[in-house]
Chains A and B, each alone.
Chain A
Amino acid sequence: MGSAWIPLALTLKVAAWATAIDLVLGVAMALALARGRFPGRDTLDAILTLPMVLPPTVLGYYLLVLVGKRGWLGGWLYDTFGINLIFTWQGAVIAAAVVAFPLVMKSARAAFEGVDTQLENAARVLGLPERWVFFRVTLPMAWRGILAGVLLAAARSMGEFGATLMVAGSIPGRTQTLSIAIYEAVQAGRDADANILVGVISAACVVVLLVAGRLAPGRGAP
């Protein structure tokens, strides 16, 4: 069991960071898509939803091209700050965040679109500044949907394999997350280890999904 703790801790760390990034970026983008009126809105939505349908290895390849040492963003980071993301846990965070991003964005967009704009208008005529309209009217009515999406993203991040393997590799103790450790254990014929790891990640994902199901819109009063 002891051998499961290190990949579990790493997995939780990566999933937490990826989910936090998705929460901020996904909610902001969902708000822009739900309330904004600009050309190319549907195209942007489609592009941002791609990680949900593309094979994770394709995403991993794109990320290597983007943030690899010779990628245009990665090259700049390395030359300017000496930052290298490939084969690091931060690279695993980026991979997980990209893969899980559409789950937050889609749920949040649906949640925002479900908020009656008339309620926001009511707040405006009652004298509320625009920034507080979001926090006092929109968010309280949309948070359930957003949270359900965030939990799905957390579960998805915890199980991320393909893109993570390509970007962060499988360095035990540093980038070897649970799902990658399982693969390595099976490859090496360490069935007992694999059993434990599979049990741990299954239990964690079931818990997350149960919580997400309870929070999903349509259950109980808002």
Chain B
Amino acid sequence: MMFDVDIDKGVHSRERSFRLKVSFKSEARRTVIYGPSGAGKTLTLQAIAGLLQPDAGRVAFGEEVLFDAATRVDIPARARRFGYVFQDYALFPQLNVRQNIAFGLTSGLLNPATDVRDEAVEGWLSTFELTQVAGQRPHQLSGGQRQRTALARALANSPRALLLDEPFSALDPDLRQRMRGELDDLLSRIGIPVLMITHDREDLERFGEARIYLQDGSIAQP
């Protein structure tokens, strides 16, 4: 069993009250959670990553329990070893591409130097064709380059799985098509397990080896 998720979380704000109650298991190398915006997809992904604490339930990956309300297990996000690609990429604006990719390789007080040299980082720069722009800041990049930087940053940390939050939604349609192909090839090449959330049916068709449908905070039938 790869992802074994059973979470219950109430989210309350002045504007809305929302209950997320999601339970699924997936053995597949590629799992897609599909649903309209507001269905609770990002909350689910954050709970798996350890960025959101469920009120009740259990999250496990493989043999390892990451969260269990009953036994008070809650591994912090930093120790869960997932690569997370945020919807808007969440690249560090004050750091260049190379520093962004190297960010997770040092866990001390200081950010990597602007000219940090690291074989793994150089490898990811070339894999994602980012060597030319390695010294640039995120705001100077194109949408596709930004997405590749976010992917490279997540992968440089040698994660055990990738969590992708709407990875193509920030791209224009032509580019979206191309990046889908690129990601597909890359994932086949490195063979890392992936959990993707999306509201785009084409992502579901392309990456959904296992498919989970989410609506109003709970699993729905397709």
- Report which A residues bind B (CB closer than 8 A): 116, 118-119, 121-130, 132, 135-137, 140-141, 221-222
Q: A121-B51, A126-B153 are in contact. Are A136 and B90 (CB under 8 A)?
A: no
B110 located at the interface, meaning its Cβ lies under 8 Å from any Cβ of chain A in the complex: yes
- 26 pairs from A and B in contact (CB 8 Å cutoff): A118-B88, A119-B90, A121-B46, A121-B51, A121-B86, A122-B84, A123-B103, A124-B78, A125-B77, A125-B80, A125-B82, A126-B103, A126-B104, A126-B153, A127-B78, A127-B79, A127-B104, A130-B78, A132-B107, A136-B103, A136-B109, A136-B110, A140-B94, A140-B111, A141-B94, A221-B137
For A118, list chain B residues within 8 Å (CB): 86, 88, 90
For A124, list chain B residues within 8 Å (CB): 50-51, 76-78
Nearest-neighbour CB distance to chain A for B111, whole angstroms, equals 5
B49 located at the interface, meaning its Cβ lies under 8 Å from any Cβ of chain A in the complex: yes
Q: Which of A116, A121, A125, A132 contacts B109 (CB under 8 A)?
A: A132
Chain A residue nearest in CB terms to B163? A125
In the docked arrangement, what's the CA distance between A1 and B157, Å?
63
Chain A residue nearest in CB terms to B88? A118
- Report which B residues bind A (CB closer than 8 A): 46, 49-51, 76-84, 86, 88, 90-94, 103-104, 107-111, 137, 153-154, 157
For B83, list chain A residues within 8 Å (CB): 125
Q: Check B49 against A125 for contact (C-beta < 8 Å).
A: yes
Interface of A is mostly: helix
Nearest-neighbour CB distance to chain A for B121, whole angstroms, equals 13
Q: Check A122 against B86 for contact (C-beta < 8 Å).
A: yes
Q: Check A128 against B94 for contact (C-beta < 8 Å).
A: no
Q: Check A126 against B94 for contact (C-beta < 8 Å).
A: no
For A141, list chain B residues within 8 Å (CB): 93-94
In the docked arrangement, what's the CA distance between A136 and B81, Å?
19
In the docked arrangement, what's the CA distance between A127 and B107, Å?
7
Q: A118-B86, A124-B51 are in contact. Are A135 and B80 (CB under 8 A)?
A: no
For B82, list chain A residues within 8 Å (CB): 125
Nearest-neighbour CB distance to chain A for B153, whole angstroms, equals 7
Q: Check B49 against A129 for contact (C-beta < 8 Å).
A: no
For B110, list chain A residues within 8 Å (CB): 136
For B86, list chain A residues within 8 Å (CB): 118, 121-122
Q: Check A125 against B51 for contact (C-beta < 8 Å).
A: yes
Q: Which of B80, B81, B84, B107 contacts A128 (CB under 8 A)?
A: B107
Q: Check A129 against B51 for contact (C-beta < 8 Å).
A: no
